Each structure stands twice: as C-alpha cells, then as structure tokens.
Structure 1
Amino acid sequence: MGRAERELVASGTRLNTAACDVVADHGRAVEAVRAALTPLHDAAAQRELDVLPVARLQDVTEGRLRLDHVEQSGLRTVGEVLAAGAYRLRQLPGVGRRTADQMLAAARSLSDAVHETVAVHIDVDRPEPGTTALVMALHTLVEAGPDAVRAVARATGTAKRLEPLLAAAGPATGRLRMLLAGREKKARALAAVTELRSLLADAERAGLSELFAQSSVDLLRGPSSDLAAWADFELRSAEYYGLLAEISEQRPDTAAAEGFLPDEIAERVRAQRLDDTHRRVSLRGYQAFGARFVLAQRKTILGDEMGLGKTIQAIAVLAHLAAEGQRHFVVVCPASVLVNWTREVAARSALRVTLLHGPDRHKAFADWKGRGGVAVTTFDALRGFPEPGSGEVGLFVVDEAHSVKNPKTKRSQAVARWAERCERTLFMTGTPMENRVVEFRNLVGMLHSGVAESLAEGDGASAGRDGALAGSVAFRKAVAPVYLRRNQQDVLTELPSLQRTDEWEELSASDEEAYREAVQAGNFPAMRRAAYQRPERSAKLERLREIVEEAAENGQKTLVFSYFKDVLRVVQDALADRVTLFGPLTGGVPAGRRQQIVDDFTAAPGPAVLLAQIQTAGVGLNMQAASVVVICEPQIKPTVEHQAVGRAHRMGQVRPVRVHRLLATGGVDERLVKMLENKTRLFDAYARRSAVAEATPDAVDVSDTDLARRIVEDEQARLGMADGRPAAEPA
C-alpha cells in the first residue's frame, strides 16, 4: 500500500475532474441557449396573447363569464386583460372581485397554454440582437456535435462510478492511513482499488480522457463571429431547430411522432436501445423512434413524408447494427440517388461505403464481400449479384420502394428474393401508400405475408368514401407491425425551415457524350446545360421527375428554376403529362402577365409546377404556395440562387421549404460548386445584412468570364482535349 495506490487515485481524480468539467461545460452551453431563448419565447407568447380575442376567455370558463363591459372598456385581447391586472378590472362597471379573479385565472390558463405551444422563429432575413444571441449560443452545441453529447453521457456515468470508488480507496494511499483504518474500511479500500484499476484501464482503452478534453474544448469554443454563426445556421437550420426543440422541450405530440402506433408496439419500440457509436449526426426524437422501430420490428416500411430524414434514420440503424458486430449491409436505390447515398453514409457515419455500379461493379462486390461495409447499388445491378446467405447481410435497405410495387417486374422479384433472405429489411418511400392499398399490399407481402393477407384486395379506393380503409385507424392498426409514417405538420415543432439538398447525379453515357462535345467546343453555357440536351437519357431529368412526382403525391407545389430557356422547354415536355404546369416565366413575359401566372399557380387546387428562369422569377414575385424548389443547375452567382429560393421561403410560407439543387459529378457542376462554396457562406451572410449588397449582388460575386474560362480550360485538360480554344462567354 502506498505509492502505486496514490498514483492510481490521482489518475482517477484527474479523470473524474475531466468528466465533471465536460458535464459542466455542456450545462453552461445549454443554459446559454435557454438564456437567449427565454426573452424571445416570452415575446412570441406575448404577441400571440396580444391578438387573442378576449372572447376566448369564454372557452376556458365554459361560457360563465360576462364580457360585455370588458370589451366596451377597450380591453379587447387576453394580453390586455393580463396587463390590466385585478385592480383595474375591478374598476370596470359590472365587474366585481369574483369576476375579475375568474377573468384573470382564465387569462392565465390561456397564457400557460400559449407559452407551451408557441415556437420561436429564427428569421435569417431579419437578424436582430436577440435572435443573433440565440443562433450564436446554438452554434456552439451544433459545432460540438454528437461527440459532445456522447462525451457528456460517458462522463456522467464515469463520474457516478468514480466518485464513490475514490472516496473508498482513500485509506489505501498510505500505510499509516491503512493501519488506522478499521477492518471494514480496509476491505472496502482494497476492493475499491481493484475496481478503480479496472475502470481506469477500460477508460484508457476507450480514450475517455481525450474524448472529454476535446469535447470541453469544443464546448468552450464559440463562433468566430455572428456572421459565421448566421451563415452556418442557414446551411444547417434543421440541426439548429432540432437542438432548439430539444432544449426548449417543445416536442411534437407523442402519438404523432410515433406514427399513431398501437400501445403494445410503441412500448416495444421505446424499449429498443439505439447505439450511436458509429453515427456522426444527432437525431430528432421522432427520427430516433423511427430507427428504433426498424430495429425492433426487423422488416419494415418507413413511409415518412419527404423531408423528414428517412435516409438519416436508415443510417442510424446501420450504425447501430455495425456496433453490434454486423459487417455487411446493402442499399438498393434508383441510379439518380446513388451518389447521394454514398455521400450521406460517408458524412453521417463511420461506416465504409462501396459503390456497386458501372463496369467494375462485380470487382467492387468482391471487395465488399471481403472487407464489409455498406454496399450501394441500383435495382438493375442487384439482379446480377448472388443472393446472400442466411445472416450474411445485417440490413437490406430499399430506397424509393414504391418502384418495386409491381410483383411482375424483374426488379421487384429480385428485391423480394433478397428481402426473404435478409433477417432485417427496410423499405423507404415518401409516397403515401395508404392511398393505394393494392400496391401497398404487394410491398408488405415481401416483408410480412400475414399482414399483407389482412389487407384485402378491395380495400382503399373501392371501399367508398365512408368505409375506405385507406388512412383510417383500422388501416394503421392493420399495418402497424410493418409500417411507420409521420407527416411534417405533425412532428416539426418549429415554424417553416429551409432545407437544402444537393442532388448529385452521375451523367448517363448520352449525357457524357453531349458534355464532351461542349467541352471540345470550349462552350461554357453548353457545358452547363449538357445534362438536358438528350432528354431520353438524362440523369438529371429523371431525378427531377422523381422529386416532382413525390411532391405531387404529398399534395405540394413545386418551383423549377433554370438559367436557360431551352432547359425549361425540355422540363416542360418531360412533365407535360404528369402534373399541372404553369409558365415558363421568362424575360419575354410582360411583368403584369408574370404576376397573373403566379396568381394562377397559387390558386390552383392541389399540386402543380411553376417553371421559371431563375434570373427572371428570382426577384419581385412571391411564391409561398410552393414548398419544393428545384434548381436545374448551379448558378454562377450564389446570390441568384438565394434570391430565387427567397420567393418561396419568406413571410407567409406555412410549410418547410425544401430546395433540391441538381448537380452532375465530375464536370462543370462540381468545379463550379468547389470554386464558389468557400466564398458563398460569407458572401451570402454579408448580402443578407447589407442593403447595398442586396441591391447590387454583383459586388460580391466573382467575374463570370474569368470563372468560365478557368473551368473550360480545366475540363479540357481533364478530358485530354486542351487545344487553346477560347471559352464561349457565359449566356
């Protein structure tokens, strides 16, 4: 007893201090958010109360209050009643102490309800000191990321174990202390030393000291400026709002977040543990529930509405299974989202990802078989791979699963065979399949024959308006073991947010040929629109159709922007027989007619698509009717994109706006994005805060001609055709 034990206790004390520090640092960061949020939340609640008619007090008291004298006195809102207080209310004719007390009690009840439900909206277009303070406080936690949350959880558990062990091991740090200790204390000290040694060895293997130290640094490091925090918020608003909802404890209705599942299934899902060791993204509550549902139910359909993060939920499941020791996973999806899947898995998890596509796909398949990870492939390519053995694939994910609803197609048959051989299968689709029970039944049949049999062929549209099973409580109960769907309005607690997605597509062979011709000619505008020159084989056009059709299935309106008139004509032809079209809005359309087109688009019942030149419709027109925006190609001036998106994402928008920017890998789009992305954050943040910059966006953009020349020269060199031919001027 002595030196070795003293060093052991000292090491334990240092680890305990680091653990307590990271918990305290995280607590201070959370309190900073709450301190910034409270005045904004109170102000938002007050605004609600200031427009809430005093007549609503009748609702709280079931009509017992007489309010004639109150309204005649000029107190017209609940907020004014609260501000008046008991003394002033009793001065009103016909209002005694009892009535005044009842009025105030009813008003306070309404005030409490408003405070519970009102949400704070962070307006990027009108930054104020209060919202800036909130964004900066949130920025610290968003930047610290899931690692900090993980560190706090580990630190809390570590400190809880360490503190009693350090106290019990005290006598073992010196011979005299051990001599003076009683028999019972000596025994406890020796046992504590043994357990402490084991705990510290485990902590060293897990790198807890480094994790705690790095997390404390991250939690103490604030944004470099409010400009940087606002720019980051605009890029990652969903993460900020998710964190804000968690800290403010304003969560969606539990039943809605859990897809209105029966209690017995919901309880089983809640009990499912979710390991985040290999995950690099935080989950919202409903997303964590979705991942647990997939794990608990094993073979499922995740039907969340577009924009709720089905891909992130799938990655959370993959990460959990990898932590449990599973090594092989397969994702099958349309070719148009292959690149997105590989990028999302790589960015959101620590899992190895392998693309099984193109002429080398069989070689890549052999590599994946040997090394493991997530294999991402297409429906057509899947048919060429050998079906897995029992237990070989930890999770089989099928994205855009409505693509395999017809059991007679070869792709559906291949997916069905794989689903049968995999213990866990996840089908993903944003299409509300409960409106098409026959098709839905086919999908369910691949996963759970018993549930499929409970959905009779005639259910759905043929059942009549009153008896239709589709969308009813009976339908949800029947499919609950397999199917989970949540809608945006049910689970997003914040006011409308802006969600941006870069849709990276691989050019088809036909696209590639058109692109090479444009590069050979040194024609920069032709390079930018080459992906649409041969519509019958256009990868971008195929993805655009999918986005528009899914939005239409969900009853949403879509804006489609392009710089080029001929691209809009191609899109118009491709969508003509699929959705209701308006436009195109181009520079040749008179201003008055432009507004009429927008008005007609807004008034159109149900889903519709408005086509517009981005430089024409990007300013001066309000298009809040649309909640989905597609940008056909990246713009040379980032401000042009932001102004166009701002037509939909502005005051009056009632749904989150999702922006899809269509990009092709390996060519002009990728070079444009790379050259501009570093400038975009600060330029856009500046432009949003300066009236001068807003009026003259060219002041913060790089030279169009210089940019075009550099990209053409780079592409000619990459494709081995540099010949000194001058680049065509930008169109």
Structure 2
Amino acid sequence: MARRGQRQTGTTRSAPQRRARVGNDGIMSVLARAVREVEAGAQRGRVSPSTRTKFQVVALLAREERTRAKADGALTEPQRAEKLKRLDGIGTILAQTAARDTSLLSLLAEDAEVSDAAIVLKHDMLQAAGVEETPEAAAETEETTVAAPVERRVVPQSVVSRQLANPFLPPDFEAAQAAKPQTQRLATWELLGPLFSAFERAAGGSKACMALPEPSDTKVPVGLELMRHQAEVIAAAEDGHRTFLLADEPGLGKTAQALLAAQAANAYPLLVVVPNVVKTNWAREAELWTPNRPSTVIHGDGHTIDGFADIVIVNYEVLDRHVGWLGDLGFRGMVLDEAHFIKNKSSQRSQHVLQLSERIRARTVRPLMMALTGTPLINDIDDFRAIWQFLGWIDDKKPRAELMRSLEETGLTPIDPGFYAAARSRVIDMGIVRRRKVDVASDIPARRIADLPVELDDEAGRSIREAERVLAQRLVKRYESALANRTSGITVEGIDHELVRRVAGWERDESSGKTDENVFTMMRRIGQAKAGLAADYTAQLARNVGKVVFFAKHVDVMDLAEETFERRGIRYSSIRGNQTPKVRQRNIDAFVDDPEVAVVVCSLSAAGVGINLQVASNMVLAELSWTDAEQTQAIDRVHRIGQDEPVTAWRIIASQTIDTRIVELLDSKAGLAARALDGSDDEVSASADMQLEALVGLLTDALEQQQDT
C-alpha cells in the first residue's frame, strides 16, 4: 500500500513543520549528494527500484525545503535567494534525469504512491541532515494515512478489551443458509461475461434501479429531513433487503442513506471503509444522523479508537494493518464508500476489502453490504466485477447461489435473444439503486460546463506546439517503419487505421528513454502553461461572484495558482493529498465558514470525492482529467443537495494543442455510465483508453496532412 508525503498546508501555504539545528544547512548537502547519486544511477542505464525511490524522496524533500525557505523569516533575502538557487539546481538535475526515463515523472504527481522504503529513506536523510520533526508534526504524522507492510498487523488495546468483555459472539439466527440452486440449464455456461455485456448492451430507456418500496416514517434527528429517494432505500433495508450498489449520482446524500439503512437493519457493529479524505466527514455525518450509535475513526495503528463503538470507520490506506482484527470483530454490516476504488482486483486494497467481506458473510447470515459510488464505471463495464464480488453476487468465476437461482428462473441461456435483458433485470433486483438529480432532486439547480479557450502565445505555448510536432513526427516514422517492414503482404489503400492504433499503443506502453516528449508530459506542460491564466480567471470570478473552487491535477499547477492568489491579495485555502485529516478539515472549514477565504485550491485526486463545497456555485477546472468520472466527481463537490444556485464549471482549454482533442474524448466517454445505468441511447465506445485515443488522433491527423501535401 501507499504512503503519502507529509506536507502541511493551512489557509495559506505554510512550510513543513520541522526544527533544524541552529546553523546547520545539512539538508542541502544531503540533497545535493543524493541527487547526484540518482543522476549517476540513471546514466548507467535502466533505473533501478532503489534509484526510483531516491528520486522521489529527493523531490519531496526539495519541494518541502523550497516551501520552508520561502516562509522562513529568519533568512535574509540573499540567504533565501542562494538557497532557492541551489534548490533550482537540484530540480534541474531531477528534470534531466526524468528526461532519460519519463516513467519517473509519475512519481511527482499529486496522487503518486510513496512506498514504505521511501518513507524510511526520507526519515534517514532527515536524520543525516540533522533535521528532526517537532512534537506537533510527529503527532500529526501519526494521524496520517500511511500504510504498513502487510506483515505488520496490529490489534488496538481497546479492541482486545472488547473481545475480552464479550468472548463469544451471539449466534445469528436471522435466516437459514440459502439452499444451493439447481443448476441444470446454466451449470456449464460462462455467465459473467454475458452479465457484464447485458449492461453494455442496455436498451435505451432501461434504467438500472431496483423496485423500491414506499418510504416509511423514518425518524431522523430534530432539524434534519430526508428526501423521498433517500427514504426509499431505508425502507428497503427495513423490509429485509441486504445488498445495495447505491450508485446515485454524486450529491444525492448517499452517506445519510447508508447510515440510516444500517440503523434500519440493525447492522451493528458496522464497518465503514472510505478514502482518507472523507473519513472525518463520515464521523461527523454519523454523529449527525445516528447520534445514539457511537462511532470511532481508525488513525494509524488505532491507539485512539473506541473498541466498543457501533460504527468503525477506516480508510483504505491503513486497512492492511487492521484487516486481521476487523475480520474477527463480528460486524453485521459493511459499507464501502467510493467503491470504484476497488475496481482493480489485483490491488492490495481490493484484496483486503474482498477478504473482509467474505469473513463478514462467513460469520453473519445476510449481513448488510453496501457499495456507494456515484461513478461505478470509470473506463470499462468490467469495473463492476470487484463491486459485485464485494456484495456477494458473484465470485471469481460465476454467479453465487442467489443470483444463479434467479437466472435459472428466467428459463433462458445466453444464446436466447431475451437472455441479456432478463439477466440485466435480475442483477438490478439484487440491489442496484441508481437515481439521477434531474429525476429525484429537481430543486437542485442546473449545472453547465463552460469551455474557455485560451491562447498560449508565449514561449511556453510555442514550446508545447513544437513538442506536439516532434511527437507526431516520431509516430509517423514508427508507422512508416512498420509499414515498410510488414511481411504479411497485406496492403491497405490510404491510411491503415489498424496499424495506426498499434503504433499508438506502442508509443503509450513503451517507456521512452530518448526524449521527454510524450502525451503525459505534454499534458502536464500544458497544465503549467495554463496555470497563471486559470488562476487569473479564478481571481476575477472571486471578486465578482464570491467563493470559487479551483481544481488542478498536479502539485506545481496548484503552487503556481496559489502564488497568483497571493500576489492578488486573495485569501485561499488548500486541499492536497499529503495533508492530515485534521489539516484538511481545517482548510475545508476555512473555505466554507470564513467569508474572507474566497478560493479553495483543490487536488483532483484528494478533493474530488466526499467533500461538500456547495457554499460556492462556480468552479474552475484548470487541468483536464483522463476520465469523465474524475471530472464529474469534482463538479459534484459543488452541485449537490444544499446547493441553491446554478452551478458553472469553467473548463480552461489550451487552443491549438492536444488539450482540444482530450476535451472531445472526455465528453465522448461520458456515455458509458449513462448507457449502462441510466438507460441512455448514446453509443458507447468499447473501453476507449483516453491516452491511446489521443495518440491515435494525433497520428491520424499527421498522416492526413502528409497525404494532402
């Protein structure tokens, strides 16, 4: 699992909280020596794992040291300038090294995983430099979501106390085990592929939502009110339904539905697994909606948790060290927030989630299992697989007993024309719940995405366009070389589009050690070039319409934007992936509650889920996402229940660059969830890979221009 860096960002950007020995500038010497070792390792050829680790740690420490130097009032201006100059030199060496192996660039991203080895190396380098953390920083570090190696499992003392107080879990007589289905017709059929295909083929007008009962008179705390669509899910739990893929569009109050459904099903103790950025918010919501059910949040090794709480909240990143005792606690329900986080079944987080769900089902007959996600399909219909397995509908190879029995009842097989529609309906009846804002929350104002083309007519813009030209030329050469060396004897008149896709795939998949020009680095460079323009427009909006949310993908783009706001005298807060829950919540509260804080600068990866920012109705998307789901999640931080003004997302597009092509691809990808879940007639391209399609378009355009000349 991953660990993240420890940068602490307050309402205005602040330096990392360290205390260095007086007069000791050892960190610069340590960084200088380490960056030379990284450079030498890259020059020897293939970059080793240890060199990659050192590259990332040097980058993290250099970034922190730059922030500290800018904020250190004890430095004179000449001292500050000298230190920044030396840091620039380290940055230049890192950039030259990344040019040799562009895969290193991924280590600089905001959401880049930081391994245990990197954390240890960072600690060792700080010690070697004579730098130590303050007690305050050390305490906050304990709260951050840093994952331990799988071998290091913990059992908090309060959990031991709970187990000693109740050593024998009461038997569960709620229901008898379901009988095995009589699988005659479907026993030898491969069914998972057809089941997924049933959603991909969904006919227009066929929405994905189980039949829900009329809402009952659910009691909620004074001052709170449920909307009808929320009460329907709670009524279904009261009626005995126990598995839900709650896929309501973001902003429709899935957290409240899950908490009250658990109360209706008496599914306590309840385990809630969430992204780190929202676990504090989940504790707040639990206290709000189910105040009589104490909740506890697991931080780090869990020393501060209440072992007797009814609701246990844990984030994905520390799940590995707690999976042992969590599986033995006797949970009667499990909620998985942002369930698309487990779409990659081979990942450690997915394996731990699936392991826990199996252990809960083994101990409790018909536990409440809820997967919450407004964007269940990111790239492919197969994204359903791990979620369905978590819910107990399928296993690795086939439907489980309840779903198999339901499919048998249709009397159809995959060769029958009516199978796909019938199978889709049976899966939906297992517990898929999907409602759109336009259907159930008409009082939420409309939203729109407004594209703002900007001209990059400076040196950066010219450099980017030249980089695109170089990349296109390289693609053309690879295409022509492949064409010339073809041995099959096949000839294609005009452009061979199949070969174009193969060449684009080679370009995307291969690490290019000879050049730093590829689709990923170009998008980052475009983001950097747009940063100042996007921040300027955000500043104008803030002065004219009030609070504005600014989203970016890369740390350096966020840094440039924040520098612009500082120059403009605009107060801002910042939400980043390397903040502790306490710092992140403080910054969210500053934006929401302080009228003087006009802008919140958000990381797409860290702030794109589970955060309520509807105090603003305008947002700026300074960089483009690689998925429509990521963009939608960001917009729905503002466009959600509680919003009373029309929402506008201002998307900054760099004209005459690959940015324009990415926008077209992004918008075309929006149809996947719409067709599979919302019954849209929009055609869906099969699992289109955004980077691949961008390269296909770039090469196709270059070949067409070549033919025209």
TM-score, normalisation: structure 1 = 0.32
More relative contact order in 1 or in 2 (CA 8 Å, sep 6+)? 2
Larger radius of gyration: 1
